[in-house]
Structure 1
Amino acid sequence: MTVSRRGFIATGIAAGSLMAAPALLGQGRAQVVVIGGGAGGATAARYLARDAQGLLDVTLVEANPVYTTCFFSNLHLGGLLDLEGLQHGYDGLAAAGVRVVHDRAEGVDRDARTVTLAGGEVLSWDRLVLSPGIDFVEGSVPGWSVADAGIMPHAYKAGPQTRLLRQQIDAMPQGGLFAMIAPPNPYRCPPGPYERVSMVAHRLRQVNPTAKILILDPKETYSKQTLFEEGWLRHYDGMIERIGPDFGGDRAEVRPAAMEVVFDGEVQRVDVCNVIPGQAAGAIAGIAGVTDETGWAPVAAEDMRSRIDDAVFVLGDSAGQGDMPKSGYAANSQAKVAAMRIRADLLDARAFPARYANTCWSLIAPDDGVKVGATYEPTPEKIASVDSFISQPGEDAATRRATYEESVGWYDGIVADMLG
């Protein structure tokens, strides 16, 4: 599967063209509130405002005035991209007719159908879209809490944490040790931690070639494992060591004040420690009461509607939806399905059967890109994978370069599709 910027945007335009707005059924305009301005929320807000042609009032609530993409942020750690190149504003959404409110949602009353913001404003809604990304499970890494992120950063919400981790990498002493505590399943961007290791290794090869990288991993296996390990042997031989659950990777603890990690009874002093903890749906989903015992928000596969409240839709990383990974591409795909269903609910517009897709690209070294992806369809139980593809070991340099260039085209395309 090959995705270009033009092709990605054209796919979105085609989906939108199926939804020409009919006349509004009632006298007043229905209200849609979207919480979260990332790949899911921004896409949903833009498609709702654009395709409703003024017949819906769409409000996006996002605390940050500048959106920093988590996807591609590992390339900043590798020294290949400036962080500013990953940052985008919301002017395009406002131009599309979305009311953009930069504030934090603190309360959801599903009976009254209101959202309360930190600044005191109360928003009414007929449909609510939640796309708040992830939050971290306190205690999932013994010895670490979010309060320790200034010492041992997670950098799994892009922005200041990404900048901090890059600064720590560049300040490592020659021959120092970088450690990563990898997360348990499920989590945002399954290949992300291992692309990060690749990019950190690339940076260290440039500025600190005798440094080492230690991965403490609670999982037996991980996404694209064969491809990453082949690449590490080719580009970074002798630099990276991964310790899985057989040797204590699932029992790692950290001591931020001492800059130590402990596994299998061994205490290891480190120079940088990237702690990626266990994850759950963004906090507002729990506040809204649409999460379950897993920490994620269960949704209906045919339209991303909450299984707990028919008037609420949950997108992207926060959704517990089945086979789709938690990724920017997946959130964007889900947002278009949800926007179509909301228009059908509120404007009596036609809704077409849901179609979902995802691709995750990873950069192992400059011009050495790999990918994995699938298409999906709804079943009564979940969003189920229909077919899939993955890069193969031993691909030639031209193929790997083309895969990386394809990912750059996708990045430009999804940003345009989300934010206009």
Structure 2
Amino acid sequence: MELKRRTILGSMAAGAAILSAPAVLGQTRPRVVVIGGGSGGATAARYIARDSQGAIDVTLVEPTRMYYTCYFSNLYIGGFWELADMGHSYGTLAARHGINVVHDWAVGVDRDAQTVTLAGGDTLPYDRLVISPGIDFREDSVPGWSVAAQNRMPHAYKAGSQSELLKAQMENMREGGTYCMVAPPNPYRCPPGPYERISMVAHVLSERNPTAKILIVDPKENFSKQGLFEDGWARHYPGMIERVGPDFGADNVSVDPEAMTVSIDGVIEQVDVCNVIPGQKAGRIAELAGITDDSGWAPAVPANMKSRMDDKVYILGDAAAQGDMPKSGFSANSQAKVAANSIRHELTDARLFPARYANTCWSLIGTDDGVKVGASYEATEEKIASVEGFISQVGEDADLRRQTYEESIGWYNGIVADMFS
């Protein structure tokens, strides 16, 4: 009887193994989890899934169902674009490329167990993890400001509702009022971005509120494309824009959101709109994953964008500390392709290509007055290093500036197709 019982149990176990075999085989595909659906994360997910032709199981974790690009959001503020022009959904990534798009917050990473925990309670296992979370703010960087005050003094450095709020505040400013921007310290997302924003605000105010003033409080001695912006401001908006740098106390600034005042080295300025762009750091999940250092950013290996803390984790875009590349959408997209190739090489033995990086940042100063700066880069042992750069020049003719602006629109259409199609 005991023999029969053991035989039956053995047969049952064998049957269970046979029945479960398809599920086990179905799970043999290597798993990649991508946190963050912006220029880095969406690009990486698409390239890994598409180029592996289904050999890799890709899950993209992104809390929002509609992604609004931070780049070109200034053109919305300036009245050149509609908000809908910057919004993009994830449906094609799921339908065409078989990516499992999960709209939830990643709230934890266990690098030993190789799992990601979601706010909804699910746990996602991974063989490789891509973290591309963008930025978070250093709330202590501007005394008196916090995320809790962002509706009173918006940052608008994460596009969407904040962009709408800042635009509405600016358009409804009293006649002859003061628009103030507290610019961020280095390093931060999109180095020319704050100054393109000033250009777009000035464009609107010059038409709607021509006696208004714009005050820039800037802790930096200089900024990206400074000569181009200052030349453009003098041509398009003479007398409207004043910039206070650190030599006049802009490195000692505090704000009072309730009183709508800005203190510059002890001198109180009453303002009508205050756009505070705080100091920045890597998105919170990078810190929770334990891949950031004392700088608040996440160090990356230049050759492949792996985290220097864990060779099964990749860090992309604004959150990465990688060397000379600016924190931009173009940079994140470029880095994502390098990381995707590295991941496919490791998980499917696909051919590994040498890392190639590039970036261009376009800015609009006035109607059809576009300028750009960019470079190509190579991976060294220490960092991603700039190899050759270019920049628009003061004094360029109007036709070239118009062509530069049109070029930027072509690039935008190209990059969003590269991310979401």
Fold agreement, TM-score > 0.5:
yes
Matches of 1:227 and 1:269, distance apart in 2: 29
Verify: 1:60 aligned to 2:39, yes or no. Answer: no
Verify: 1:365 aligned to 2:370, yes or no. Answer: no
Return the letter of the residue paired with 1:417. Answer: D
Matches of 2:55 and 2:243, distance apart in 1: 54
Secondary structure of the 2:310 match is coil
- How much does 1:113 deviate? 0.3
- How much does 1:156 deviate? 0.2
Matches of 1:338 and 1:303, distance apart in 2: 5
- How much does 1:26 deviate? 11
Matches of 2:266 and 2:90, distance apart in 1: 49
Return the letter of the residue paired with 2:29. Answer: R
Alignment map for 1:20-169 (pairs within 5 Å): 28-95=28-95, 96-169=97-170
Secondary structure of the 2:377 match is strand
Matches of 2:265 and 2:162, distance apart in 1: 29
Secondary structure of the 2:376 match is strand
Secondary structure of the 2:251 match is helix
| Structure 2 residues not aligned, in runs of 5+ | 1-24
Verify: 1:201 aligned to 2:207, yes or no. Answer: no
- Number of the residue aligned with 2:347: 346
Matches of 1:410 and 1:297, distance apart in 2: 28
Secondary structure of the 1:39 match is coil
Alignment length (residue pairs): 396
Alignment map for 1:286-325 (pairs within 5 Å): 286-325=287-326
Higher relative contact order (CA 8 A, sep 6+): 1
Query: Structure 1 residues 27 and 76 mapped into 2: Cα distance closer, same or farther (>3 Å)?
Result: closer
| Structure 1 residues not aligned, in runs of 5+ | 1-24
Return the letter of the residue paired with 2:346. Answer: D
Matches of 1:175 and 1:92, distance apart in 2: 47
Matches of 1:174 and 1:43, distance apart in 2: 44
* Bigger Cα displacement from structure 2, 260-269 vs 182-191: 260-269
- Number of the residue aligned with 1:21: none
Matches of 1:410 and 1:26, distance apart in 2: 39
- How much does 1:132 deviate? 0.2
Once superposed, which parts of structure 1, at least 4 consecutive aligned residues long, lie more than 2 Å away? none
Verify: 1:384 aligned to 2:378, yes or no. Answer: no
Matches of 1:75 and 1:252, distance apart in 2: 28
Matches of 1:174 and 1:190, distance apart in 2: 30
Secondary structure of the 2:258 match is helix
Deviations 1:291-346, CA, capped at 9 Å, x for gaps: 00110000100000000000000000000000000000000000000000000111
- How much does 1:27 deviate? 7.7
- How much does 1:264 deviate? 2.2
- Number of the residue aligned with 1:3: none
Secondary structure of the 2:365 match is strand
- Number of the residue aligned with 2:336: 335
Return the letter of the residue paired with 1:413. Answer: G
Secondary structure of the 2:185 match is coil
- Number of the residue aligned with 1:326: 327
TM-score, L = length of structure 1: 0.93
* Bigger Cα displacement from structure 2, 261-270 vs 177-186: 261-270
- How much does 1:28 deviate? 0.7
Alignment map for 1:221-240 (pairs within 5 Å): 221-240=222-241
Secondary structure of the 1:74 match is helix
Secondary structure of the 2:306 match is coil
Matches of 1:419 and 1:294, distance apart in 2: 32
Matches of 1:306 and 1:117, distance apart in 2: 21
